Amino acid sequence: MVIVLKKAISAVLVLCFLTLAVPAWDEVGHKITAYIAWQQMTPTTRERVIRTLLAAPEDSQLATFYVSFGSRTEESRKREYFMLAATWADIIRDRAFDTRYKKYNHSNWHYSDTFWRSTGGNIEFLPPRAEESGLASPKLVELSDIIRGSASDAQKAIAIAWLEHLIGDIHQPLHTSARVTELEPKGDQGGNLFLLTSKDTPRDKQENLHWFWDSIVVRNQPNSEDACDADYIDPTAHKIMKKYTVAKLQPRLNPANFEAWKKESLDLAATEVYSPDLKRFEMPSPAYKKKALKIAEERLALAGYRMAEVFNSVFGQANP
């Protein structure tokens, strides 16, 4: 009994440390998308997904995040475990856990960039640069095939966690875009090279366009009370679901059409993210911030509804 309790406490401490260590779309964004997906997943789908996640290889440490004791309901624990699994692909970037990092981290899976430039106000898409473009799109197809096929539950667990994360990533416009300019002839790395702070800002205090979009929800609705996920992320996700209901977005879901999802994000990057009122070395205007939040909330909702459809189609019956 003592040994079991010690293991449980150790798991909690690891969970707390890693969750705080993740530079947090951002941890909040990914958890919002996973929460929305959970609400649309059938009971059968939920049970099978959680059971599969818990079969993850020990060296991935994915299963250790499930806390199986406490006063909260089992349903709450499963939901929060599913939400945290959506951030696992960022958690494993921590080089301090050498074995896990070398085996499971894939930095070029998080994006799928298309190179483009604006010429005379017209968008011109450029030839692909395979070595620089990222692998999110093909990996979404590959991972989807894994959970639909005869792979072991351990393999499917890793695929589920990556799918949770990459479905969120592909809906962030700057995870699909590499804008080419005179200053960035090799692309601006999804807005990472587009600085919003002045030229003389110290490197450790610089802020860029990618950061602006990744962290957009938490900056507009900060967790100023240091509330737990249930008191902060859950109600935030509910507000987004009320604005962008599944019924409203149903005609646009394009089930498992990963390329269509990517194209939506790319079109938004080219037309809305890099709008004429956006200036280099200046923070975006209030009007731009308002527009960006609206776009981001809709993308998070779409990602959640689409994620649920993917898992329902494999692990259970779709909601009526």
pLDDT in tens, 76-123: 999 999 999 999 999 999 999 999 999 999 999 999 999 999 998 899
What is the rounded average pLDDT of the residues 240-260? 97
> How is 94-127 classified by DSSP, letter by letter?
-TTSHHHHHHH--GGGS---EEEEEETTEEEEPP
Does residue 320 belong to any structural domain of this protein?
no
Tell me if 45 is assigned to some domain.
yes
pTM of the model: 0.90
pLDDT band at 234 (very low <50, low <70, confident <90, very high): very high
Residue 267 lies in a domain: yes
The total of structural domains in the chain comes to 1
Let me know if residue 203 belongs to a domain: yes
Question: Is 175 part of a structural domain of the chain?
Answer: yes
Q: What is the mean pLDDT of the chain?
A: 91
Edge-to-edge strand ranges of the sheet holding 177-179:
122-125, 114-119, 177-179
Residues in the chain: 320
The CATH number of the domain holding residue 284 is 1.10.575.10
For 269-316, what is each residue's pLDDT tens digit?
Answer: 999 999 999 999 999 999 999 999 999 999 999 999 999 999 999 999
Residue 71: per-residue pLDDT:
78
The reply to whether 260 falls in a domain is yes
Domain housing 111: 2-315
